[in-house]
Amino acid sequence: MRKLALILCFICFIMMTAIVFSVTVSEEGVVQGENQTNISVAEAEETQPDKEEVMRIMNGVLDTLVQEADDSYKLKNYATEQELTEAFEEYLTPELAAQFVDYYFRTEADGVYVIPTETMPWFQEENEYDMINISNHSVQLVQENENDMVGSYTLVVEMTLQNGWKIQDISYK
C-alpha cells in the first residue's frame, strides 16, 4: 500500500511538472514574422519603443537627412549612395531608406548631392505623442503639431520591429 501511494505521488508530480512546463512554453512561444527577430509572445505583446528609443530614431532620421554639404550641395560625410542608404537604415526600413535617398539626394560620378528642398514637417520632441499598438511587432506614433510654414498637421509614423525599431511609413493628416 505504501509503495502504491509513493508511485501515485510520483505520477502526480510528473503530471504537474508537465502541465506547468506546457503552460510556460505556450505563453512564451516564439514569434517570428517577416524581417523580424525572434521574440517571445509575452515580450512582443509588451514591446514598444520607449521614449529614449523614439527620440533616438526620430532625431537620427533628421540628422541623417540634414547633411553637411559644400557650396555645390555635395555631401561631405558620405561618398556613395550606399553609405548614405546604410546610414538611414539605422532608423528606417530598407525600403523607406531607399525612398528617402532617391527623393532627397542625387548621385553623380564624383559623389552624392543633396537636392535643395524644404525639410518635411517633423516630430517635435517637446510635444506629447500617442503610441498605438498595431500588432505584436508594429506600433504607430501619432503627434499633433503646428509650424509657421504648414500650419497644423498630424504626423503618423509607423514603426516595426526589424532588428530593432525602424520607421516603416510616414504620413500626414
Q: Report pLDDT digits (tens) over 67-106.
A: 999 999 999 999 999 999 999 999 999 999 999 999 999 9
Q: What is the pLDDT of residue 148?
A: 83
Mean of per-residue pLDDT scores for the chain: 79
What would the pLDDT profile of 25-67 be if each residue is shown by its tens digit?
333 333 444 444 444 444 544 579 999 999 999 999 999 999 9
Cell of 50: 520607449
Question: Is the per-residue pLDDT at 1 higher than 50?
Answer: no
Report all structural domains of the chain as residue ranges with CATH numbers, in order of start. Answer: 47-172 (3.10.450.420)
The amino acid at residue 144 is E
- What's the pLDDT at 76? 96
What is the per-residue DSSP string for the chain?
A: -HHHHHHHHHHHHHHHHHHHHHHHHHHT-EE--TT---EEHHHHHH----HHHHHHHHHHHHHHHS--B-TT-BBSS-SSHHHHHHHHTTTB-HHHHHHHHHHHEEEETTEEEE---PPPP---TTS--EEEEEETTEEEEEEEEEETTTEEEEEEEEEEESSSEEEEEEEE-
pLDDT at 14 over 60: no
pLDDT at 96: 97
Please return the burial class of 101, using the count of CB atoms within 10 Å of its CB with bins 0-12, 13-18 and 19+: buried
Q: How much is the pLDDT for 87?
A: 98
C-alpha 88/C-alpha 98 separation (Å) is: 8
Give pLDDT tens digits for 135-147.
Answer: 989 999 999 999 8
Closest CA to 133 of 142, 123, 125, 145: 142
